[in-house]
């Protein structure tokens, strides 16, 4: 199994092949499930932020009965009243108390969480033809189309490396501006299907479907799974923006204390996100450096947590 070298894979595949070989995800070992689920969330959309973040959680539903049982208990005993775990809404007391147990529960997942940090200026050009742009403009504003293309191409790249031939693939997004109504969701399914079919060496999937967290069966399991990329995208987006304002960047090669200006939630999420050796494998990939394949770069940094949990190294 390897990652496609088509499209964004030209710059991404080498880094991901190396990282997956070095930190072999448990999900890729042993028998795979029939239902592959990928859920995604986007961060960094505020005007002053220098980076956008695209976070994807991938897992085989068949191999995660332990997490599902724990999630049911979490909803009964820790976070009742159907509250949603969301980075932007983490300020009420109940959610604050629930964050640590929620992240601890996530460690039980057998899957992979990948978060891309994409420079808003020095980045590959994913602009579409005039004809396609006019077609998509019926459903989305230009700025949303740009994020849609990034979600589709990054998602298709990840599918090329983590999906096994014959699996059913379900791609779940939050009900945000990319998939806020049925016509958008229908068109998104078409766009994502095209992106997958354009990946060289893509495994032959059985079925491909796209949906939103509204498809939840009432257990809030989809909501809670989608909350993990939401938390990751939000925390990394906040951290990288603070580092930039301090004259640093996401690849600054120094040991540094987490900036005092980051919020308590980022201070809690980042050490969790950098852990190695759990069943949930976590990668962060930084994309920057230019608009052409010969210039832009994709880097998976070696981040780790040191003794002081408020410190982070690259």
Residue with tokens 């199994």: 1
Task: Provide the pLDDT for residue 36.
Answer: 96
Statement: the pTM of the whole predicted model exceeds 0.85: yes
- Note the pLDDT tens digit of each residue in 237-287: 998 888 888 877 777 654 456 777 889 999 999 989 988 767 999 999 999
Tokens linked to 156: 């298709």
CB 68 within 8 A of CB 54: no
Angle, CA 19 vertex, CA 18 and CA 20 arms, to 5°: 95
Predicted pLDDT of residue 313 = 46
Half-sphere exposure of 15 (CA within 13 A, CB side): 20
Question: What ranges make up the beta strands (E) of 46-177?
Answer: 51-60, 111-119, 168-173
Residue where the block lists tokens 């983590």: 162
Question: Would the pLDDT of 307 be above 50?
Answer: no
Q: List, in order, residues 6 or more apart from 208 with CB less than 8 Å away.
A: 168, 169, 171, 189, 192, 193, 196
Sheet (strand 304-305) strand order: 255-257, 311-313, 304-305
Q: pLDDT tens across 6-64, in order?
A: 989 999 999 999 999 998 999 998 889 999 999 999 998 777 888 999 999 999 999 99
- Predicted local distance difference test score (pLDDT) of residue 285: 94
Q: What is the pLDDT of residues 196-221, one digit of tens each?
A: 999 988 888 889 999 998 888 888 99
For residue 201, count CB atoms less than 10 angstroms from its CB and return exposed for 0-12, middle for 13-18, buried for 19 or more.
middle
224: left (phi over 0), alpha (psi -120 to 50) or beta: alpha
Output the pLDDT for position 297.
87
- Is the pLDDT at 312 greater than 80, yes or no? no
Residues 6+ apart with CB under 8 A from 179: 173, 185, 188, 210, 212
Are the beta carbons of 130 and 168 closer than 8 angstroms? no
What is the mean pLDDT of the segment spanning 146-171?
94
Supply 163's token pair. Answer: 């999906």
Token pair belonging to 227: 């909350």
pLDDT of residue 310: 47
């Amino acid at each position: 199994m390897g990652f496609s070298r088509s499209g964004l894979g030209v710059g991404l595949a080498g880094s991901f092949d190396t990282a997956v070989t070095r930190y072999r995800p448990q999900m890729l070992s042993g028998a795979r499930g029939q239902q592959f689920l990928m859920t995604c969330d986007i961060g960094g959309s505020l005007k002053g932020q220098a980076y956008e973040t695209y976070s994807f959680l991938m897992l085989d539903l068949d191999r995660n009965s332990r997490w599902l049982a724990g999630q049911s208990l979490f909803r009964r005993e820790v976070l009742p009243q159907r509250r949603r775990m969301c980075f932007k809404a983490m300020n009420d007391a109940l959610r604050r108390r629930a964050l640590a147990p929620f992240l601890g529960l996530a460690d039980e997942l057998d899957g992979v969480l990948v978060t891309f940090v994409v420079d808003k200026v020095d980045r590959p050009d994913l602009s579409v033809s005039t004809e396609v742009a006019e077609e998509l403009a019926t459903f989305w504003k230009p700025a949303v189309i740009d994020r849609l293309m990034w979600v589709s191409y990054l998602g298709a790249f990840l599918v090329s490396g983590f999906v096994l031939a014959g699996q059913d693939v379900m791609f779940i997004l939050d009900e945000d501006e990319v998939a806020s109504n049925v016509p958008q969701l229908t068109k998104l399914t078409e766009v994502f299907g095209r992106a997958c079919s354009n990946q060289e060496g893509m495994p032959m999937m059985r079925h491909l479907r796209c949906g939103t967290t509204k498809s939840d069966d009432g257990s809030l399991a989809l909501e809670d799974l989608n909350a993990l990329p939401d938390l990751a995208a939000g925390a990394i987006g906040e951290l990288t923006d603070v580092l930039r304002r301090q004259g640093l960047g996401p690849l600054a090669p120094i040991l540094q204390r987490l900036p005092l200006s980051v919020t308590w939630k980022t201070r809690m999420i980042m050490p969790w996100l950098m852990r190695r050796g759990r069943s949930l494998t976590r990668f962060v990939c930084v994309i920057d450096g230019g608009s052409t394949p010969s210039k832009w770069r994709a880097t998976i940094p070696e981040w780790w947590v040191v003794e002081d949990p408020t410190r982070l190294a690259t």
